[in-house]
Structure 1
Amino acid sequence: MIRILAFVLTLGMLAACSAPPSSTGDEVQRLASEIRSLGPDIDPVEAERAARIAYSYSAQLAQEYEITDPPLVHNAKVNKGLRPRGLCWHWAEDIERRLDQEGFETLEMHRAIANADNPFRIDHSTAIISRKGETMRDGIVLDPWRYGGVLYWSPLTEDTKYEWVPRDAVLEKRRLDQHGALLPYVSG
């Protein structure tokens, strides 16, 4: 019982550290401007549409995921089957899929994972939008999980909370690690 209480208190303290950014009312326009700044060939209409969708779809997903708690508490509810979705990789997968449906000609989506090699922290996944043909390093993090459905965004280079690694690289490393662990024993 003491362990359960300690766990709940720890989750509560971690959740308290995750206050969403203040809302100024011009978030969509600020994000659209940041997307336009990715390069001179970014279509301003696409930048506006991507920003609008990123905000509105994050709000829609928060409703669908039944978000009522801070992220780590919600994660526990998802893992116990009390909520349908809402783990960070759900947010990243869903927002990437939705933005990819737009068929942008000047923008491209990427996926990234942080903390994959850190045994003291849980993995965190996100979607990143960049100029078409650029790497994720040149993009903008779109992370609705971080503040429980309130979209956090930042140029990747300015997101100092996480060290993002391309998702494919993390998954390939895990595949190789698993393959090595599963090789049959051959006696010599």
Structure 2
Amino acid sequence: MTKLFFARRFRSNLIIFTLAAPLAFAAYPPSATARSRGELVLATSAEDAALRARLVALSPSVNPDEARRVAYVAYTTGLELARKWQMVSSPTVQCFLINIGVKKGGYCYQFATELLLRLDAQKLKTLELHWAESDAGTDTEHNVIAVTARGRPFAQGIELDNWRHSGHLLWGPLSGDPSHTWQENKDALARRLNPRRGRG
């Protein structure tokens, strides 16, 4: 009886948390001035003009059509994976649910890997993809995809994060992230791309 009571209570609290968090986020969305300050913001749609413009601004050599495709793929990939993995409103809770076997996926590296593969399939010529990681090897490790103009330094990149807001694309300059200090991991990028390319 006691176990049943606590199981029901846990489920009830989880449902309340899952429903309440999006409402709280909606009440306090990212600042409207965040874009102009170079901070991270949520993409507004698959055709987010600000994201496309920021990608184009990485270099005069960037193809606007490539920037449009990157923005579209990044936005739609996050939402698709959120549906596939039935993401709850908190990615931290999602990770807990994966660990106890309730959910099948939704770790940050899974979001980043899938986005990397889909962007790589675009065969970009003027934009370059990077694997970015923060706090590698710790419980707080986080992974995202960064995009730079081809041949430009990693530190100048734009991060694309589908995990932090449970499938909703968060983007902005790597240097503007208040929560993470990003490092490039070229080996992690190669491990994920080489098998795909090896299959031809």
Band of TM-score, shorter chain: 0.7 to 0.9
Deviation at 1:169, TM superposition (A): 7.1
Gaps of 5+ in 2: 1-9, 31-41, 190-200
- Whether 1:152 and 2:200 are equivalent positions in the alignment is no
Amino acid at match of 2:167: G
Q: Is residue 43–residue 170 contact of structure 2 (8 Å, CA) maintained in 1? A: no
- Whether 1:80 and 2:105 are equivalent positions in the alignment is no
How many residues are matched?
A: 160
Q: Is residue 132–residue 185 contact of structure 2 (8 Å, CA) maintained in 1? A: yes
Alignment of 1:58-73 (within 5 A): 58-73=78-93
Q: Distance in 2 between matches of 1:45 and 1:168?
A: 26
Residue 35 of structure 1 aligns to a residue in which SS? helix
The percentage of counterpart residues that share the same residue type is: 31
Gaps of 5+ in 1: 172-188
Which residue of the partner structure matches residue 68 of structure 2?
A: 48
Q: Is residue 19–residue 147 contact of structure 1 (8 Å, CA) maintained in 2? A: no
Q: Distance in 1 between matches of 2:48 and 2:84?
A: 21
Q: Distance in 1 between matches of 2:144 and 2:154?
A: 11
- Whether 1:122 and 2:122 are equivalent positions in the alignment is no
Relative distance call for 1:41 and 1:168 in structure 2 (3 A) is closer
Residue 48 of structure 2 aligns to a residue in which SS? helix
* TM-score normalized by the length of structure 1: 0.74
Q: Is residue 114–residue 125 contact of structure 1 (8 Å, CA) maintained in 2? A: yes
Q: Is residue 116–residue 170 contact of structure 1 (8 Å, CA) maintained in 2? A: no
* TM-score normalized by the length of structure 2: 0.70
Amino acid at match of 1:113: E
Deviation at 1:24, TM superposition (A): 8.0
Which residue of the partner structure matches residue 151 of structure 2?
A: 133
Higher RCO (Cα < 8 Å, 6 or more apart): 2
Amino acid at match of 1:98: R
Q: Distance in 2 between matches of 1:28 and 1:104?
A: 19
